[in-house]
Amino acid sequence: MEASILLVGGDDFLSTLLNRIRNLVSCTVEVAPTPSEAVPLIQAQQPDLIILQGNLPGGLELCRQIKDQARLAWIYCIVLDSPVQMLERAWLDRNWEMDCRIEALENGADAYLWLPQNDPHGEILEKEILLQQDRLLRAQIVSGLQMVKNHRELMRTNDILSAIALSDPLTELNNRRALDWELPRQVANARARAEPLSLVMLDVDYFKAINDTYGHPVGDRALQLISSRLRHNLRFRDTLFRYGGEEFVIILSNTDQQEALLVARRLCRLISDQSFAIEENLDLNLTISAGTASLKHVDDSRGASLLQRADQNLLQAKAAGRNRVFSCLDTSPQPDAENVPAARENE
């Protein structure tokens, strides 16, 4: 992808620098005459690199604002001063340059360049000096773009590692670590928006018998098929996690107790109504038990008490005979499949 550069400065600064940069590096260049006009461009497009006119009113404040925002701080900022005429005395010129450099770096600039256009007598600088300036400008831009590229590659690597860490390799569902991260966020969102939030905790009935009878590869395949059936029958706002072993948790955002009970019952029927083709000559009739719970104002911010209630209701469903749902709305949980198999291959 071609690099993107934003130039922020007055008309003379922009006209001088625009073609100069395009001749030095392959990039797309946007311009903004003032910091206030630059802000929406930076927020929307997030350019790789910004070159700011050093003496532009508000320019250094813009640089500091960018670096103070975590999501924008990676943008490489170069402050560039291009005085029309150098001072008569070289030591005054050096002091001026040093003061400008210090102020730019103190305001978060990644680099500062001093590229005067004329000599002390107002004459255009020699061609060799201008070429040297172009080399310096190009080298600084390339260096900045390389740092941005390295940052983005690191972020992509971190995203991949995070996805691996939060994903269950067998079922490709979100794992328990992902639930520990997501549930507090959902609790906070529900409370901020005054919306209901519910959980469903599911457990595959008699799963140990599958592993003991057919072996762990068959058990693993059964979990994959169950996960797939659950995942493809959830609503868009539901989030499915493999909690561990044969247990699953579903976060139901904007869902009250009654709706959660209906969702859980529907999922139980989806599992029990159709057998699972594990192998060419092996179909298993499987069922699940489920417990639901809904967020209360007394629940902790991490959702631990909410999860614990869903787990307790799941235990109630299993104690009542399995293949059913239990919630705080139930007084005596009933089977959620029309016909509970009298004998099943996995029992």
Q: What is the DSSP letter of 126?
A: P
User: Can you tell me which residue has the tokens 């005085």?
Assistant: 83
Question: What 3-state DSSP class applies to 296?
Answer: coil
Any catalytic annotation for residue 347? no
Report CA-CA distances (Å) from 54 to 32, 78, 122, 223, 254. 14, 9, 20, 62, 51
Bridge partners of residue 244, in order along the sequence: 247
Determine phi and psi for 176, rounding to 5 degrees.
-65, -35
CB atoms within 10 A of CB 225: 17
The one-letter code for the residue type at 190 is: A
Q: What is the DSSP letter of 73?
A: T
Question: What 3-state DSSP class applies to 313?
Answer: helix
Q: What is the DSSP letter of 324?
A: B
Per annotation, catalytic residue among 103, 153, 246, 347 = 246
Give the residue from 81, 34, 31, 83 showing the smallest Cα distance to 57.
Answer: 34
Q: Among all residues, which ones are annotated catalytic?
A: 246
